[in-house]
């Protein structure tokens, strides 16, 4: 995806998703994750009854944290930077230059998300949580990106008509 149009550039900072959409993404994704995890636990219990009852709370929590990072990474990598929440809110995770993230970047982002207190790091304005900062990514609002693209194309067409 090329974000350079002649002399004009897309302002990705303007396109950054707001904290309201980011929070909605988080709630939707967390709900979807727990539904998936519940399904996995039912499947495991069906295959080997009683195996999950021997797991203590700490191990259960660590397994859930790893599963969260891995499942969300798969979803974001397959859908090119979009989780279920991002699909619904029309946002997208991208590299800082605007290019699409790959599986490695999605995995890094989502494993950082399981760090305790990561959610509190999202309270800044603009919303720039650790999992974005440390993985050199950002979440953009696709509607704002479309407006920026139209603006750049308009200025380019006007400039071409003048020349």
Judge whether residue 101 has pLDDT over 80: yes
Judge whether residue 6 has pLDDT over 70: no
Q: Tell me the average pLDDT across 74-100.
A: 95
Give the pLDDT score at 159: 74
- What is the dihedral angle through the alpha carbons of 10, 21, 33, 117, rounded to the nearest 10 degrees? 100
Give the pLDDT score at 1: 45
Name the average pLDDT for the chain.
Answer: 89
Q: Record the pTM.
A: 0.83
Judge whether residue 11 has pLDDT over 70: yes
Give the pLDDT score at 110: 95
Judge whether residue 8 has pLDDT over 70: no
| Placement of tokens 């397994």 in the chain | 63
Extract the tokens encoding 88. Answer: 């619904």
C-alpha to C-alpha distance for 51 and 60, rounded to whole angstroms? 12
Which of 6-20, 67-81, 108-122, 126-140 has the lowest average pLDDT?
A: 6-20
C-alpha to C-alpha distance for 139 and 98, rounded to whole angstroms? 10
Give the pLDDT score at 113: 92
Judge whether residue 5 has pLDDT over 60: no
């Amino acid at each position: 995806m090329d974000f350079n149009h002649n002399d004009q550039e897309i302002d990705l900072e303007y396109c950054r998703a707001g904290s309201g959409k980011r929070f909605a993404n988080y709630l939707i994704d967390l709900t979807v994750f727990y539904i998936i995890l519940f399904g996995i636990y039912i499947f495991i219990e069906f295959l080997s009854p009683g195996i999950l009852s021997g797991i203590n709370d700490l191990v259960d929590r660590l397994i859930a944290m790893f599963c969260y990072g891995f499942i969300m990474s798969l979803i974001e990598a397959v859908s090119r930077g979009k989780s279920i929440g991002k699909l619904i809110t029309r946002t997208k995770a991208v590299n800082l230059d605007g290019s699409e993230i790959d599986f490695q970047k999605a995995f890094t982002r989502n494993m950082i998300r399981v760090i305790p207190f990561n959610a509190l790091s999202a309270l800044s304005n603009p919303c720039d949580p650790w999992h974005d900062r440390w993985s050199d990514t950002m979440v953009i609002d696709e509607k704002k990106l479309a407006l920026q693209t139209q603006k750049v194309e308009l200025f380019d067409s006007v400039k071409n008509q003048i020349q």
